[in-house]
Amino acid sequence: MTETTDSTGAFADVPGLRGEVAFRLLVEAVQDYAIFLLGPDGRVLTWNLGAQRIKGYTAKEIIGQHFSRFYTPEDLEAGRPMTLLGWAAEYGRFEDEGWRVRKDGTRFWADVILTALRDEHGRPYAFAKITRDLTERRAAEERERMLLVEKEARAAAEEALRARDRFLSIASHELKTPAASLSLTVESLQRASASGRLDADRLAGGLARLATATDRLGRLVEELLDVSRLAAGRMAFRRDPTNLVAIVRDVVDRFTVADEQPRVTLGGRSDAWVSGDASRLDQVVTNLIDNAVKYSEPDSSIEVDVTHLDGGVLLAVRDRGFGLDEEASSRLFEAFGRGMNAEHIPGLGLGLFISHQIVERHEGRIEAIPRTDGPGSEFRVWLPAGSPG
Amino acid sequence: MTAPGRILVVEDDEMLRLALLEVLDDEGHEARAAAHGAEALEILDEWEPEVLVLDLMMPVMDAFEFREHQRRQGAAPGARILVLSAARDLDGAAHRLDADAYLAKPFGLDEMLTTVDRLLDDRRAGDAAAR
């Protein structure tokens, strides 16, 4: 069998069916596409079954009418019908997707191809317009998109739940351990006392443990309260002239154990003024140095310095620790965002979240970067400069 | 009344570790302590406790890793295991560790001492049966 390339050939032996007639019949019979001709002025010249099915007009109703009636009022206001025709005239062919209006006023989502038919001088004498109704497909795509959005939202909610669960595990572990020390020590002191074995040494040792455990519980509860205050926007901040270097010096002193080689060294300026809340800024500095201590070997050094930068004050805390877990770095400052390499580190994992919030309330910035001069991390806090008090 | 025994406490929290040592010592037990699994393995090299008191989550080497090493090395093979933990799924963890008993933190002193005594008796009964 030979393929027919001659458009008239296929019907050549059907009596009374000349090629053009056959082609017109074909176009007229197509139901899935609106195929029709427009005059150069945009009036409808021909109409097919598909056009009638999609747009709702019969040939009798629409032939001779301007095609702008297929457009929405918004498109009409923007002059879109004639613009599209102009583009088709200019480029020869133009494809458009958008809302169109049926005879009954309802809208459908159309894919439209406009092709300019030109005379021998290149002037368009008509436009062929092929329109497909993509409402169903668009609705399906929209449903798919909504499903995806929903899926993402659900995944985010599930992750939030998992994070909350992780946090509850951590919090329960952190709270129950000092609670276990408390109860065990109290009971053991009671026993020793009852059996007459409670000497001064035993009592002093027990009381010291009780003091440490209550202090730790108190700090954990305070931290939890901070998070709840921050979340509710109820944390009050003072704005006093504050020397950040004095705060940092105090904190560094607290980390220096008597008779031991100091691990934390302070460099940089001797004063650097900011406007802020001294006790909250103390909390930030304490958190950063405490983290540096917790996340590095006991004998490694921690460098702290305060300098001036970009009209503000820059605090840098550098350690030689385990470094930053890349995946966790981005979530470091979120609540419950502690790194996976932090599983066995004591604490609630809320310190950086709280610090971030405090720094933001001071119009400052906080960031964590890997050190470029070897292993370890550097935490930086920048605060706008204030005037000395 | 159970005769005093040899007990190894593996607990990373220093306060709790000291408190445990003290109360076990009060009862006349010979108690030693390690801050994590790796330290405990070193102690097992030269000393065979009858009961191991294990915390779950510890730095350097947690209870799961420790048990794996301990079993592979055949260290303190007959020792009974008491797990102490604040973990929420303590039941499942104790099962995975093949523990003989577990107590959720915070626990009572009497409860802890009674459990230790029971495990010591059990260990000794097992020993006698093996002979």
Interchain pair A184, B19: CB under 8 A: yes
Q: Identify the closest residue of chain A to B109 by CA–CA distance.
A: A184
Q: At A166, which helix (H) or strand (E)?
A: helix A135-194
* B98: DSSP letter: T
Model confidence band, residue A261 (pLDDT cutoffs 50, 70, 90):
confident
Considering only CB atoms, B16 lies closest to which of A175, A177, A192, namely: A177
First vs last C-alpha separation in chain A: 100
* A18: DSSP letter: -
* A110: DSSP letter: E
Domain B6-130 has CATH 3.60.15.10: no
Interchain pair A173, B13: CB under 8 A: no
How far is it, in rounded angstroms, from Cα A250 to Cα A306? 14
The pLDDT assigned to A3 comes to 42
CB atoms within 10 A of CB A310: 9
Residues A364/A384, Cβ–Cβ less than 8 Å: yes
The pLDDT assigned to A268 comes to 85
The pLDDT assigned to A345 comes to 64
How far is it, in rounded angstroms, from Cα A328 to Cα B20? 36
- If we measure between CA atoms, which residue out of B38, B66, B69, B72 comes closest to residue B54? B66
Q: Which residue has the higher pLDDT, A194 or B87?
A: A194
What ipTM goes with this model? Answer: 0.85
The pLDDT assigned to A5 comes to 46
How far is it, in rounded angstroms, from Cα A213 to Cα A375? 34
pLDDT over 90, % of chain A: 52
Mean pLDDT to the nearest integer, B71-94:
86
The pLDDT assigned to A336 comes to 67
Domains, chain A, with CATH or none: 31-133 (3.30.450.20), 140-231 (1.10.287.130), 240-384 (3.30.565.10)
Model confidence band, residue A371 (pLDDT cutoffs 50, 70, 90):
confident
The pLDDT assigned to A2 comes to 42
The pLDDT assigned to A4 comes to 41
The pLDDT assigned to A8 comes to 47
Residue A356 burial by CB count (10 A; 0-12/13-18/19+): exposed, middle or buried? buried
Cis omega (within 30 of 0) on the bond before B106? Answer: yes
Taking 50 as the threshold, does the pLDDT of residue A265 lie above it? yes
- If we measure between CA atoms, which residue out of A372, A323, A315, A381 comes closest to residue A352? A381
| Nearby residues of A227 by Cβ (< 8 Å), 6 or more positions away | A335, A350, A353, A354
Q: What average pLDDT does the structure give for chain A?
A: 87
How far is it, in rounded angstroms, from Cα A337 to Cα A284? 17
How far is it, in rounded angstroms, from Cα B5 to Cα B21? 13
The DSSP bridge partners found for residue B54 are B10, B83
Taking 50 as the threshold, does the pLDDT of residue B112 lie above it? yes
Which residues of chain B have a CB within 8 Å of the CB of A294? Answer: none
Q: Where are the beta strands (DSSP E) in A220-371?
A: 240-243, 264-268, 273-276, 302-309, 312-318, 365-370
Residues A226/A284, Cβ–Cβ less than 8 Å: no
List the single best residue of B85, B105, B110 to mutate versus A (max A Cβ within 10 A): B105
- If we measure between CA atoms, which residue out of A174, A176, A202 comes closest to residue A189? A202
Q: Could you tell me how many residues make up chain A? A: 389
Distance from CA of B127 to the nearest CA of A (A): 31
Dihedral of CA atoms A331, A333, A339, A344 in degrees, nearest 10, equals: -150
The model's pTM: 0.61
User: Residues 170 to 199 of A: which have CB under 8 A from any B CB?
Assistant: 172-173, 175-185, 187-188, 191-192, 197
Residues A9/A17, Cβ–Cβ less than 8 Å: no
Confirm or reject contact between B63 and chain A (CB < 8 A): no
**Per residue in A59-70, pLDDT tens?**
999 999 999 999
**Per residue in A110-121, pLDDT tens?**
999 999 999 888
Residues A75/A81, Cβ–Cβ less than 8 Å: yes
Taking 90 as the threshold, does the pLDDT of residue A123 lie above it? no
Residues B32/B10, Cβ–Cβ less than 8 Å: no
The pLDDT assigned to A1 comes to 41
Tokens of A181: 């020390």
Radius of gyration of chain B (CA): 13
Considering only CB atoms, A181 lies closest to which of B15, B60, B108, namely: B15
Question: Secondary structure of chain B: what % helix, strand, coil (to 5)?
Answer: 45, 20, 35
The pLDDT assigned to A256 comes to 84
Least confident of A40-44, A160-164, A322-326, A375-379: A322-326
Confirm or reject contact between B33 and chain A (CB < 8 A): no
The pLDDT assigned to B30 comes to 96
- If we measure between CA atoms, which residue out of B54, B51, B58 comes closest to residue B13? B58
How far is it, in rounded angstroms, from Cα A208 to Cα A27? 96
Q: Which residue has the higher pLDDT, A167 or A341?
A: A167
